[in-house]
Amino acid sequence: MQRDYRRLSYPQKWVIALGLLTLTLGLANLGRAAMALRYAALLPALPMTVSWTYLAVMGGFWGLIFAACTVGLVGFRAWGRWGTLVAVTLYEVHVWANHLLFDANEYAFQVRSRDLLLTLLLLALVWGLLNWPSIRKEFER
């Protein structure tokens, strides 16, 4: 089915905006992977709680997942909606597991309340938008 993107409905515009948000998350994670590889070459003996390889692999993994979610969202595919809900939720679970297991400095502990607020806002935005009845209908067509 061919869509006329010049005449997007209000719910479709919200889905596109959410797709841009997931694309931003994906690109940020791919950037994180690239920086981890770069720093691994520059600072191989730096003592860390996790390895550069772990950071690079996780950045690449989440970057590709969010890129796929973006494709599903802007294509208004049902799997894009469910995939985004699952991916964003699992991503935040992974982020918080890393915080709780690997944070090793005072600043990381100081900003936990801010990070929790941002996590809750992201989850509320994604779950709220993708479960809004008029937006859900866009994925059923």
Q: What pLDDT, on the 0 to 100 scale, is given for residue 5? A: 56
What's residue 2's pLDDT? 62
pLDDT digits (tens, 9 = 90+) for 6-36: 788 999 999 999 999 999 999 999 999 999 9
Ranges of the chain whose pLDDT falls below 70:
1-5, 141
**pLDDT for res 3:** 60
CB contact at 8 A, 26 and 70: yes
The model scores a pTM over 0.75: yes
Query: Which pLDDT value is given to residue 4?
Result: 59
Q: Is 72 exposed, middle or buried (0-12, 13-18, 19+ CB in 10 A)?
A: buried
Within 10 A of 100 (CB to CB), how many other CB atoms are there?
9
